[in-house]
A and B are shown apart, each in its own frame.
Chain A
Amino acid sequence: MTAASGHVGDALSALLDGELHGPEAEAARAHLASCAMCAAESIAVTQARSWLRSLPPVEPPADFYVRLFADDADDANDAGDGGDAREAHDAPDATVTSLVVSRRSRVRAGVAAMAACAAATGVVLGLVSPHDSPTTPPVTRFIEAHATAVGDGDPVSQLAPAVVPVAFRP
């Protein structure tokens, strides 16, 4: 009951929610039984309460988790590099948050992904570049050098024995 108006007022929702106890609750119930205005307000607030409680869980979009973990990996990398303004900004007791910075993080992750794609493309192009000649290892020279160093190689070929026998399929 509010002293000023004599009506239940803000205590009405508390009464509906079972958050009003003792003499205060008894007084509110008694008033409701005799006050048409408070009774009407009780019906209205009960309806609003019912609507709010009927709201279903909201399904996140399909890429929600992908973004979540991608962003976090990006943040972790930043932290590994010594951190940035955002890392200090997000301390548990911080009183200021920046959702704008979060959006920037997404953009940053996107830019990083694009850069990675560009780098990968460059590597592929580099491998097939006509300017690069094929590399042929000087195998014979390696074998001869090894035989010379070991000294007790095969008497016919004067080559060192293979450490791991090579098996051929019939």
Chain B
Amino acid sequence: MAGSGVPTWEEVAQSHGRFLYTVAYRLTGNDDDAQDLVQEVLLRVRKGLATYQPGNLEGWLSRITTNTFLDEVRWRRRRPSEVMADEPDRVLPPIEGADVALESQVLSADIQAALARLPDEYRAVVVLCDVVGNSYEEIAEALNIPLGTVRSRIHRGRAQLRKALASGGHRDGR
């Protein structure tokens, strides 16, 4: 840690590696993309530390992670050869799996699978809200979207996730 209270990027990687990986994994839904996302994020962190003001480091990191993820999503959308991302208002198909009645105990893998099926923009705000713990205002500021948009995406994301889990039951998971 430098005397100014600003950590080096190596310190960020060491002390917040698991946090970054968790957020990245919840956003991307798989290990390979999560690792790539963390790598991209740390490149931005390294450049951004020059202007970083000591404060809520995890908030800053989650903001960079989510924006990097959404940048990637938009980049892929612009490429015709890439698989098109989900449209925000499309209806989610149920998760394939055992037809088990929805109970209070849903496994993490099922929640992650349902999360991965959300439209990217919905998933981004849901992760920031329910995984990272950001307020609506922080999310609006981080993603540069209106507060009303944050509110509707969070609600619709949760509603779709619940519907997907209710439709497909749950399977074994982590």
Binding site for B on A (CB under 8 A): 9-14, 17, 19, 41, 44-45, 47-49, 51-61, 64-65, 67-69, 71-72, 75, 90-92, 94-99, 102-103, 105
Query: Separation in Å of the A83 CB from the closest CB of chain B?
Result: 12
Contact of A58 among B25, B32, B129 (CB under 8 A): B25
Q: B43 contacts A75, CB within 8 Å?
A: yes
Chain B residues, Cβ within 8 Å of A11: 151, 155
Chain A residues, Cβ within 8 Å of B158: 13, 45, 48-49, 52
**Interchain Cβ contacts within 8 Å, total number:** 131
- Could you tell me the dominant secondary structure of chain A's interface residues? helix
Sample of 24 A–B contacts (CB below 8 Å): A10-B152, A13-B154, A14-B154, A45-B155, A51-B162, A52-B111, A52-B161, A53-B130, A55-B108, A55-B112, A57-B22, A58-B26, A59-B21, A60-B35, A61-B31, A61-B35, A64-B17, A64-B35, A65-B13, A65-B17, A68-B39, A90-B47, A98-B72, A105-B39
Chain B residues, Cβ within 8 Å of A72: 39, 42
Q: B151 contacts A57, CB within 8 Å?
A: no
Query: Separation in Å of the B88 CB from the closest CB of chain A?
Result: 13
Query: Would you call B171 an interface residue if the criterion is a C-beta within 8 Å of the partner chain's C-beta atoms?
Result: no
Q: B13 contacts A41, CB within 8 Å?
A: no
Chain B residues, Cβ within 8 Å of A64: 17, 21, 35, 38
Query: Separation in Å of the A162 CB from the closest CB of chain B?
Result: 48
Interface residue total, chain B, C-beta cutoff 8 A: 54
Contact of B19 among A13, A57, A91, A96 (CB under 8 A): A57
Q: A10 contacts B112, CB within 8 Å?
A: no
With contact pairs A56-B108, A99-B33 given, residues A92 and B44 touching in the complex (Cβ less than 8 Å) = yes
Chain B residues, Cβ within 8 Å of A58: 18, 21-22, 25-26, 34
Chain B residues, Cβ within 8 Å of A13: 151, 154-155, 158
Query: Would you call B126 an interface residue if the criterion is a C-beta within 8 Å of the partner chain's C-beta atoms?
Result: yes
Chain B residues, Cβ within 8 Å of A65: 13-14, 17
Query: Separation in Å of the B19 CB from the closest CB of chain A?
Result: 7
